[in-house]
Amino acid sequence: MIVGLPKEIKNNENRVALTPGGVTELVKNGHTVYVQATAGNGSGFSDEEYKSAGATILPTIEEVYAIAEMIVKVKEPIESEYKLIKPNQLVFTYFHFASHEPLTKAMVASNAVCLAYETVEKKDRSLPLLVPMSEVAGRMAIQKGANYLEKPLGGRGILLGGVAGVAPAKVLVLGGGIVGTEAAKMAAGLGADVTIMDISLPRLRYLSDILPANVKTVMSNSYNIAQAIKSSNLIVGAVLIPGAKAPHLITRAMLKDMQPGTVLVDVAVDQGGCIETCKPTTHENPTFVIDGVVHYCVANMPGAVPYTSTLALTNATLPYVLKLANQGWLTACQKDEELRKGLNVINGNIVYKPVADAFNMAYSPVENYL
């Protein structure tokens, strides 16, 4: 198969979807790999390393899209890329369709096959291609939150761990999945007073077992959230309903119940955010303030730590990339239930129900195309 690796063009997105090691594996399996010049620079991989691994370097993004049967990317295509995507081309990347109607419509119109990292799902319902970046973003959420709690950056001016004789900051984590667990661990490690909420009682039992004593587990419901936000200094949004638009657990009206200088880090922003007032921001301009509350809503947080994130992401994606290249998407998805769950759009049809539901668009079950 002809595989194309474009350079990411989202703001400050420094990850790349294949390492030179990944190219070596594809070439060993008989595939041809085209890499856009400087695609790996942000992650510390030079064109020379990709060439040594057996790739051909192409100068422009247009050439990569034009030649490839499968495009392997990190972030969702942005507007300038829409027109480059061809009918029947396989695009394997994060899409987060349910939060982005124009992207959904453009991909339907492209007649391409869109396989989304974030909905590839194992039998145990875990999301193997989301997990590594959720681990990164969960940990980063506390780094960022601690930073924005500083007074000069708009925060209340409180140190997460406090000091002897002074109480630590209160951290509220909404959602106890991968992002939430990593955030709670980091906040607890810094000495904060942490509360983590989830709707799953088995999950809360597990978290209560594994997390340290300065993390309390509390059932997520609107009453408990309304109480907790009044005294929280840092709130991390980390809920997910796979493939769907995130529910708004904190509404616009609730901001007035928060203390001025509270910091919100809505990691779930890529699925539309679980805080109503969150709108996607960039690493260049990451925050805005509403009612004295600092909002951090960067949709590609791991892009800022590419030396960690590219390796963590490609460790997880490469086996799936190889399977798709070796068998083609149709056979691979017929045989492999995990990959099949990743199919969101096939040749103009939305085959992932939560995406169709998000925009009242037509849904057609994936089985119709396999």
Residue set of the binding site for substrate: 15, 75
Sign of CA dihedral 265, 145, 298, 349: negative
Annotate 343-363 with b (16+ C-beta within 10 A) or e (fewer). bbbbeebbbbebbbebbeeee
Asked if 299 touches ligand NAI (CB under 6 A), the answer is yes
Catalytic residue among 31, 96, 100, 295: 96
Give the one residue of 118, 121, 193, 338 binding ligand NAI; rule: CB under 6 A: 118
**Exposure of 8 by Cβ count < 10 A (0-12 exposed, 13-18 middle, 19+ buried)?**
buried
Give the span between the Cα atoms of 290 and 319, in whole angstroms: 44
Coil, strand or helix at 235:
strand
Of residues 100, 193, 266, 270, which has the active-site annotation? 270
The yes-or-no answer on residue 96 being catalytic is yes
Question: Across-strand partners of 194?
Answer: 171, 215
Does 228 sit near ligand NAI (CB under 6 A)? no
Q: CA separation (Å) from 68 to 6, 71, 286?
A: 10, 6, 34
Per-residue contact string for residues 276-305; x = within reach of ligand CC(=O)C(=O)O by CB under 6 A:
------------------------x-x---
User: Does 137 engage in binding with ligand NAI (CB under 6 A)?
Assistant: yes
- Residue 197 interacting with ligand NAI (CB under 6 A): yes
Based on CB atoms, which residue is closest to ligand CC(=O)C(=O)O, 149 or 239?
239
Give the residue with the Cβ less far from ligand NAI, 247 or 328. Answer: 247
What CA–CA distance (Å, rounded) separates 58 from 43?
18
270 is catalytic: yes
Of positions 175, 261, 306, 342, contacts ligand NAI by CB under 6 A: 175
- Residue 220, CA distances (Å) to 99, 175, 212, 226, 261 in order: 23, 8, 20, 10, 24
Q: How far apart are CA 5 and CA 94, in angstroms?
A: 14
The residues that are catalytic are 96, 270
Q: Which residues bind ligand CC(=O)C(=O)O (CB under 6 A)?
A: 75, 94, 130, 133, 270, 300, 302
Q: Which residues bind ligand NAI (CB under 6 A)?
A: 118, 130, 133-134, 137, 174-180, 197-200, 203, 220, 238-241, 247, 249, 267-271, 299-302
